[in-house]
A and B are shown apart, each in its own frame.
Chain A
């Protein structure tokens, strides 16, 4: 049986002796470029002028001060969630339930704000943020416990918990927390004034969550480079056998990764609800928790890369909205671009570990390749 590669490809892959450092930096820009080119061709194919569309998609949304504020605002939850996921992905812990931890963080923080907010004065904001972190971390503790204790895959458990969290939120706003003055809309009362995150600047909506994201990026850079726990997590992901031999606890890595991921996602959730949304409602996220998975990879699991990637992904969201209004194409074009970007990125990663060699037609046809 001839192999597929030999049948058709004029190229061959050869594993590099050492991963290429250049390609490590270049792979994300290559993927972004490939996404843009594909988008260009695709838009042309469906009869939309790509240059005008790119203007609508990428330039117009950020051509005002308010627009730049929106870019930072939407980057916030993506950045927070992705920063929380990255240490886990490096340690081979696959938390894909960020969206659920985000939702529970919003419920926990929102609940504290609604019911304790008026009583605790200026402590309300720190209290809701802490409640958000704890809520998200508690939700992530479920898959952590079930994997540590029963070896149940955290991939499935964390994902199932997304649906459960969303149903719980829906129950809360349809039932016990429904605003009596809300004309029967399924939504909670607005959070009290002392429990909301005010905009950082006049004329923009971006709030302190963005700064918290930057601080978290700095912290996680320090955590990964300068702490023993960060080192143990990296080793656990790169060489599980060596890690076990060196006495590094797989269980400790798992717990740490899940709690960091859950806490960060919970913080993102409460920053959305106490920020731009202002109350609990059935839908509080256009899939930030899932898009954060892409952000983490596009940022190459590096804290500063993630900050840049979250800005890019935020631009895709804004572009999708602007395209919906001006070009009458569905906002789900954003999801399409996101998925495509991740494909290109994964493919581009190949260049880090493999060298692409051209096989001359002679050897292909005649001798053994």
Chain B
């Protein structure tokens, strides 16, 4: 293994991490408002399918990502109507969203299986991209990678430093109090859920246009669930979630390169790594009850109805 191949591994780890960053940040915002949306996998698949379909038919990737965000948000709206307006159980509804997203994307995406798509192209940052080592490591990615860093900074700033972010957190911690103070809990939760849907859709489209530029039924392969686990792993804090996504990106990619590195383990066992890692990480984080107690939004997963 020379430097070149290590740099290539690092670059593909970033590509593998980026969809997790988008999906997990969106879910983080929803959870900070007190809503547990287990439908990330379904929203991602909807985004992956719509994004791919629009990219293939229009050739315009910007349009593809917009459409994917809209598709994710639309499914999130369905989740919102059920859990926020109709008071359904959040866990059950989230599962329904995932099953629905898998079915819908498989059904509607049948025509697009096996079609080629022009992948997201790489932006070389002028001058910096030509630096030795740092150039390939930091400055030769597509726009969505840079935007994901910006999004993380934005979410962190929004939650910590803005009045609106404070209101969102208040709704997540104590919806009754927020309601008594005149906040519309339902409305704030709707917005948070829609944001989560849009970023999950973007995460999906990134999978089908950048990570593996194609559409296959169920192609997210559990990444939506890993993103959900990352929010716990990152103890509901944006930058920690971001770091977690990069950790998982690295695990995913190392697994692909392991055989090249001379590790002779059947490929199935290597493919298990991200899933095993998710379980281990959850165990490590949840072991100390205080970590969860101090960080988890207090009303997470509970429905709220103004008349109760």
Contact = CB atoms under 8 A, between A and B. Distances in A.
Interface string A149-165: 01111011101110110
Contacts of B78: 343
B100 A3 contact: no
Interface in B57-113: 78, 82, 85-89, 91-93, 95-97, 99-104, 106-107, 110
Contacts of A1: 182-184, 187
Contacts of A339: 96-97, 99-104
Interface stretch (B6-14, B129-137, B284-292): B284-292
Contacts of A235: none
Nearest to A339: B100
A332 B229 contact: no
Given A3-B306, A156-B229, A343-B96, A163 B187 contact: no
B38 A346 contact: no
Interface stretch (A123-131, A218-226, A254-262, A289-297): A289-297
Contacts of B96: 294, 339, 342-343, 346
Given A152-B282, A342-B100, A164 B276 contact: yes
A335 interface: yes
Contacts of B115: none
A339 B287 CA distance: 34
Contacts of A346: 82, 86, 88-89, 92-93, 96
A150 B221 CA distance: 26
Interface residues of B, number: 55
B283 A332 contact: no
Which of A153, A160, A161 has the largest number of chain B CB atoms within 10 A?
A160
B279 A167 contact: no
Interface stretch (A51-59, A199-207, A209-217, A347-355): A347-355
A343 B305 CA distance: 19
B107 A335 contact: yes
B217 interface: yes
B186 A152 contact: no
Contacts of A333: 103, 107
Most buried by B among A3, A163, A334: A163
A120 B279 CA distance: 38
Which of A3, A159, A290, A330 has most B Cβ within 10 Å?
A159
A24 interface: no
Nearest to B81: A347
Nearest to A345: B96
B275 interface: yes
A200 B93 CA distance: 38
Contact of B222 (A163, A170, A336): A163
A3 B232 contact: no
Contacts of B91: 94, 155
Contacts of B186: 3-5
Contacts of A334: 103
A336 B108 CA distance: 10
Given A1-B183, A1-B187, A174 B268 contact: yes
Given A150-B283, A336-B104, A3 B88 contact: no
Given A13-B305, A156-B278, A293 B95 contact: yes
Given A1-B183, A3-B306, A156-B278, A164 B103 contact: no
Interface in A273-328: 290-291, 293-294, 297
A335 B287 contact: no
Contacts of B308: 15
A336 B307 contact: no
Contacts of B225: 156, 159-160
B305 A163 contact: no
Nearest to B102: A335
B269 interface: yes
A194 interface: no
A340 interface: yes
Contacts of A5: 85, 186, 306
Contact of B100 (A150, A340, A347, A354): A340
A343 B82 contact: yes
Given A15-B308, A346-B96, A167 B272 contact: yes
17 contacts: A3-B306, A13-B305, A14-B307, A151-B292, A152-B279, A152-B282, A156-B228, A156-B229, A160-B278, A164-B276, A335-B99, A335-B106, A338-B99, A340-B100, A347-B88, A349-B89, A350-B87
**Closest 3 pairs between A and B when the two form their complex, measured CB to CB:** A335-B103, A339-B100, A332-B106
Interface of A: 1-5, 9, 13-15, 94, 96, 146, 150-153, 155-157, 159-161, 163-164, 167-168, 170-171, 174-175, 290-291, 293-294, 297, 329-330, 332-340, 342-343, 346-347, 349-350, 353-354
Given A339-B104, A346-B92, 7 more contacts: A5-B306, A156-B225, A171-B269, A330-B110, A332-B106, A338-B103, A347-B82
